[in-house]
Amino acid sequence: MRWRRNRAPKAPASLRRSFITPEGVDLRLELASAGTRASAFMLDILILFISLIFATIAIRLLGIAGASGEIFLILWLVGAFVLRNGWFILFEMGGRGATPGKRLLGLRVIARDGGRLTGGAVIARNALREIEVFLPLSFLGMQAAQGAADGFLTLFALCWTGIFLFFPLFNRDRLRVGDLLAGTWVVNNVRAKLGADLVAARAEQPRRVFTDAALDLYGIYELQTLENVLRAGQDDAIATVAATIRRKAGLPDDGDDYGFLADYYAALCIRLERAMLVGRRREDKHGTVGRR
């Protein structure tokens, strides 16, 4: 019996890319358009701006700035720098690989080589944003606050920011300069209905039981990759992953690749969640289980 799976509408061919995982599976991801990326960025900036407004009010009420406007300006700029960098870096280092703005629009950041998204790559792509956008805008803000704005410097800063902002429109992968340096893509996160449909379809079917040794083959990163394979619903990818797991675990082929992967995914998810409840976390198949 073949289970029916939801498939998301395909992106234009110009935005579809081959994405080979370490297991040799091609997930055929869809790159985010420049407009969607810009919208996600603006959502994040809006949230940050509102946060800064509340922080500014709190600083004024607490009297931290004292009587000196320069001290207040310095505190505000430092706080804005820490907040925006912490916001983008910490959220993109998380398991979802996305800030709230990206999550709202169904985007995530991945490594272009098919491996795990590393902390170094996240820091690099976001550090470049400071040079691309925030550094010239911060300079303009300081000049305006001091009433010493220079026409040439203002024009130069705006042109500098504009070049980097429009850079994704002039390359086929819609990459920022930070993406080029860090080796990352921003992709559409497929929103197929996995959990509810899977449970409904298999509610009357007995679930396969896996040994601890079979479940110990993989960690959190592989669980996320397995979820992507199930969401995409590509028969060749499902067959490849199922064959790989069966070979490593020494399990027989029962001819139901999708059902096998769905049951393995559910069992692995439960096992990893139980381990994390007692402070034991395994990031991927290469790592040992360690305490948080």
What per-residue confidence (pLDDT) applies to 47?
93
pLDDT in tens, 90-105: 999 887 889 999 999 9
What per-residue confidence (pLDDT) applies to 196?
47
- Give the span between the Cα atoms of 137 and 81, in whole angstroms: 12
* Closest C-alpha among 30, 37, 36 to residue 15: 30
- Give the span between the Cα atoms of 31 and 187, in whole angstroms: 4
pLDDT of 5 above 80: no
pLDDT of 13 above 70: no
- Give the span between the Cα atoms of 21 and 274, in whole angstroms: 26
What percent of the chain clears pLDDT 90, i.e. is strictly above it? 12
- Give the span between the Cα atoms of 137 and 156, in whole angstroms: 11
pLDDT in tens, 137-153: 766 666 665 665 566 67
Give the residue extent of every domain in the chain: 15-188, 195-291
Residue, of 230 and 115, whose pLDDT is higher: 230
Other CB atoms closer than 10 Å to residue 60's CB: what's the count? Answer: 11
What per-residue confidence (pLDDT) applies to 53?
87
Average pLDDT for the chain: 75
* Closest C-alpha among 271, 263, 267 to residue 289: 271
pLDDT of 30 above 60: yes
How much is the average pLDDT of 56-63?
A: 74
How much is the average pLDDT of 210-233?
A: 78
- Give the span between the Cα atoms of 101 and 45, in whole angstroms: 9
Residue 142 one-letter amino acid: M
- Give the span between the Cα atoms of 274 and 76, in whole angstroms: 43
pLDDT of 9 above 60: no
Listed range (75-89, 202-216, 236-250) with the worst mean pLDDT: 202-216
How much is the average pLDDT of 272-283?
A: 53
How much is the average pLDDT of 39-47?
A: 93
What percent of the chain clears pLDDT 70, i.e. is strictly above it? 70
* Beta partners for residue 17, in sequence order: 29
How much is the average pLDDT of 6-30?
A: 61
- Give the span between the Cα atoms of 138 and 41, in whole angstroms: 17
Residue, of 35 and 194, whose pLDDT is higher: 35
**Residue 281: band (very low, low, confident or very high) from pLDDT cuts 50, 70, 90:** very low
What per-residue confidence (pLDDT) applies to 194?
46
* Closest C-alpha among 164, 161, 167, 178 to residue 123: 178
Give pTM, 2 decimals.
0.62
Residue 106: exposed, middle, or buried by beta-carbon count in 10 A (0-12, 13-18, 19+)?
middle
Dihedral Cα 94, 99, 102, 104, nearest 10 deg: 100
Dihedral Cα 194, 199, 204, 208, nearest 10 deg: 80
**Residue 123: band (very low, low, confident or very high) from pLDDT cuts 50, 70, 90:** very high
